[in-house]
Amino acid sequence: MPATRPIYLDHHATTPVDPRVVEQMLPYFTEHFGNAASRQHAFGWKADEAVERARHQVARLIGARAKEVVFTSGATEANTLAIRGALAARHEHGAHVVTVATEHKVVLDVCHTVAADGGRVTIVPVERDGRVDPVRVAAAIAPDTVLVSVMTANNEIGVIHPVSEVSTVCRARGVWLHTDGVQAAGHVPFDVEALGVDLASFSAHKMYGPKGVGALYVRRAPKVTIVPQTVGGGQEQGLRAGTLNVPGIVGFGAAAAIARDLIATEGPRVAALRDRLLAGLTRALEAVTVNGSRSARLPHNLHVSFAGVDGEALMTGLADHVAVSSGSACASGSREPSHVMTALGAGAVERWGALRFGLGRGTTAADIDAAVTHVAACVTRLRAMSPVGVGGSQ
C-alpha cells in the first residue's frame, strides 16, 4: 500500500459521502429506526416524515413535484423500471424502443432483454463528438415506438446530449422520453420541465450521497403510467414494492439539497480545474486527444487518449498515485474496448489508451498539478517501452 492515499479523480464512478449527509442519516439507523410503512405508531410516522422530506428535496433539485419522485435501490433499478415499465404500460401501442449507442451499459442491457422478449430496439449512432443528432432520433421513430431513452450526460466521456431537442421530436410523435440523469443531476442545472422528459433516473452516490438508493421521476401532467417491475407491496405509489431504505433516502435528500445549493459555484470551480488538468497534460506530453465535445461537456469530466500507451498499463502504473479509470465502473475489469469510444469511431490507439478523469468537491489545484506530474511520468515511461508509435493529435 502507498504511504499516502492516491489522489481521487474517479468521481464518475462514485463520490465520497458528504459528512453533512452522514450526520443526517445516523439517527435513522438507531433512534428513528421505524418502517416508513408502519402508519400505526410514532416510529413509523417519524420514518415516513423523513422519507417525504427527502422526496421534496430530490424533487426541488430536478424541478419536479414531490409525488413524481419514486425511490429505488439505485439507477440500475430506476432505468429498468422506466424502460420495461413503460413498455408494459403501452404494449397496445407497440414494443419499439429507440436508444443511443453510447448509453450506459444498464440501458443497453435492458434494451437487449426487450429484444430477446420479442420487442424491437433501434440503437442510434452518435456524431464524432459523442452527441446524438435529434434528426437521427426522429428518423428512428416508427408507428410502434413507445419510448426513446437518451441519457443527459455520458458517464465516460462526459458529453451532454441535446435532450430538450430530442423531447421536441418525441412530443410531436406522441412518444415518451426517458433520460438517465445520473451523471448530470447535482453537477449541472437539471430541470425535468425544461428538458421535457417523461421519465428520468438518478443515483444518490453520484452526488455525494450513500450507495444503494436512487430515484425515478415519473411525470404526472400529462400523466405517465408505468407498470411496476417488483410486486409484493404498495410502497412508492404502488410502483416499487419493498421496505424503504429510510437512512439511505434521508441521505439522498440531504445530498440533493446540498448539491442544489452548490451548483452555481462548484460547476465553474471544477471546470477551471479540469481546464488546468488538460493544459498541464498537453504541455507535458505530445499526442494527447480529448474525446468528445469540448463545449457540451460536464464541468468535472475530462476523457483523453494518450497515443502509444495501453490504458490498462497506464492505470496500473498510476494506481498508487492517482485513482482514475478508463470508463464505466460497471465494466471495469473488462478487456473489451469501450463501447462508447467505439461508437465515436475512435481508432484502436485512442480506444486502448484512454483515461477518464472525474473531478470532485475535494479536488484542489495542488491535486491537479500532482496528477499531471504522475500521469506525464507514467505515459513517458510506457511510451519508451512501447513498440507502438506516438501518433495522434492534440
Q: What residue ranges do the domains of the chain occupy?
A: 7-15+264-385, 19-258
- Please count the other Cβ atoms lying within 10 Å of the Cβ belonging to residue 16: 14
pLDDT for res 347: 61
Query: CA-CA distance, 32 to 335, in Å (whole number)?
Result: 46
3.30.470.20, 3.40.1180.10, 3.40.50.720, 3.40.640.10: which CATH number matches 19-258? 3.40.640.10
pLDDT of residue 4: 83
| Catalytic residue positions, numbered | 330
Q: How many Cα atoms within 13 Å fall on the side-chain side of residue 29? A: 7
What pLDDT is attached to residue 114? 96
Please report the pLDDT score of residue 393 as a whole number. Answer: 39
Judge whether 231 and 241 are in contact, CB under 8 Å.
yes
Radius of gyration of the chain (CA): 21
Quote the pLDDT of residue 388. 60
Give yes or no for a contact between 97 and 119, defined as CB atoms under 8 angstroms apart: yes
pLDDT of residue 28: 98
Q: What is the pLDDT of residue 3?
A: 58
Q: What pTM does this model have?
A: 0.94
Please tell me if the domain spanning 7-15+264-385 has the same topology as the one spanning 19-258: no
Query: For residues 317 and 380, is the Cβ–Cβ distance under 8 A?
Result: no
Residue range 146-191, pLDDT digits in tens: 999 999 999 999 999 999 999 999 999 999 999 999 999 999 999 9
Q: What does the pLDDT look like over 325-375, one tens digit per residue?
A: 986 545 445 556 789 999 998 665 566 689 999 999 999 999 999 999 999
**Ranges of residues in the chain whose predicted pLDDT is under 70:** 1-3, 327-336, 346-352, 387-394
Fold type of domain 7-15+264-385: Aspartate Aminotransferase, domain 1 (3.90.1150)
- In angstroms, the CA 102 to CA 100 distance is 6
| C-alpha distances in Å from residue 347, one per residue of 53, 145, 163, 198, 307 | 49, 33, 28, 36, 10
Give CA–CA dist 177/152, Å, rounded: 11
